[in-house]
Amino acid sequence: MSKVTKTIAAGLAATALTAIGATAETWDMPMAYSATNFHSATGAEFAACVTAGTGGALEIQTHPGGSLYAGAEIKRAIQTGQVNIGERLLSGHQNENALFGFDSVPFLATSFEASEKLFEAAKEPLTALLEEQNLHMLYSVPWPAQGLYFDREVNSLADMEGLKFRAYNAASARMAELAGMLPVQIEAAEISQAFATGVAQGMVSSGSTGYDRKVWESLSHFYSVDAWLPRNYVLVNLDAWNGLDEATQNVINGCSIVAEYAGDWRSIQYTEFTVGQLAANGMTTGPVNDELAGELREIGATMTAEWLETAGDQGTALVDAFKAE
């Protein structure tokens, strides 16, 4: 646990005296990404903060790397009470509701500042949607901006034709289709093996994911295109949340504030470091050329129009609110 988290946890413990005397309870917290990933590290600190802040009355145990549930299964597990808490990339559920994909509309929000503005515009309708599904949002942290990985040099869409492309949500799959590639659904924990065995030859993801999975062992190029900044969310089963006493809820809310701040900071700091590590391990890194940049923008415009049509008035209002700020 970081010094900051320890300090906050100690302060929160003073507000949780009623919880300390309660019967000890353990919540398992599934997470899709490896223990070394910054999202998982932030989640582990959050869990330790809650455990310390409640004096052990509520202990949260994290299970990173998809070890308890695969990423695609986590949201459903929380909704149905198989677990009370977990972390999930909600854009992976865009097919349920277009609103879940607001953070993966290509080139709408391409910086951390813009990502935060977009999240603020989406927070109210997103919170309401989650509550309809028996979910309560605790905190959310963005990934660094998404770039393109390949096992070869690419200078145009023609160079991507027919390549097998790892997809993790509807946006990444649609991008692959529009670029003439073949989308392949692959969980984060399976990335290294997929590239090593030729199941996939490219992906859109952050420098963080590439660094964590050591993709330089199979891939050769990373292109910084800042396509979007998808977000991970720590969610709790709404019934379980409502069953907690106020003191415990206050501790969790306090730890959530700390976790969101720490996660945001890590995401920003990790961007330069991880891309640098890709280069240090032999990958060619840099921006795409003007031709490919233009082609990707055309794909982005198509996908934006498609998302707005699917999201309807709610999506239009969200984008208008974001652009008005």
pLDDT digits (tens, 9 = 90+) for 27-59: 999 999 999 999 999 999 999 999 999 999 999
Residues 293, 268, single domain; the answer is no
Residues 20, 42, single domain; the answer is yes
Residues 190, 305, single domain; the answer is yes
Residues 210, 249, single domain; the answer is no
The average pLDDT across 275-282 equals: 97
Per-residue model confidence (pLDDT) at position 64: 98
Q: Please report which confidence band the pLDDT of residue 15 belongs to, taking 50, 70 and 90 as the band edges.
A: very low
**68 within a domain of the structure (yes/no):** yes
* Cβ atoms of 29 and 60 closer than 8 Å: yes
Residues 137, 21, single domain; the answer is yes
Per-residue model confidence (pLDDT) at position 8: 52
Residues 267, 124, single domain; the answer is yes
Residues 292, 181, single domain; the answer is yes
End-to-end CA distance of the chain: 36
Per-residue pLDDT for 174 more than 80? yes
At 51, list the tokens: 């455990």
Nearest in space to 168 (alpha carbons), one of 124, 86, 236, 227: 227
Residue 58 structural domain = 3-143+230-272
Residues 202, 287, single domain; the answer is yes
Per-residue model confidence (pLDDT) at position 249: 98
Residues 106, 194, single domain; the answer is no
Token pair 């009623």: residue: 18
* Cβ atoms of 192 and 212 closer than 8 Å: no
Residues 53, 153, single domain; the answer is no
CA distances from residue 278 to 30, 206, 271, 272 in whole angstroms, order as listed = 28, 11, 11, 10
Mean pLDDT of the chain: 94
- Count of structural domains within the chain: 2
Residues 206, 305, single domain; the answer is yes
Per-residue pLDDT for 272 more than 90? no
Per-residue pLDDT for 16 more than 80? no
CA distances from residue 286 to 9, 48, 154, 221, 225 in whole angstroms, order as listed = 41, 38, 12, 9, 9
**What pairs with residue 237 in β-bridges?**
135
Residues 47, 88, single domain; the answer is yes
Specify the DSSP element, H or E, that contains 89: strand 85-89
Maximum alpha-carbon separation in the chain: 65
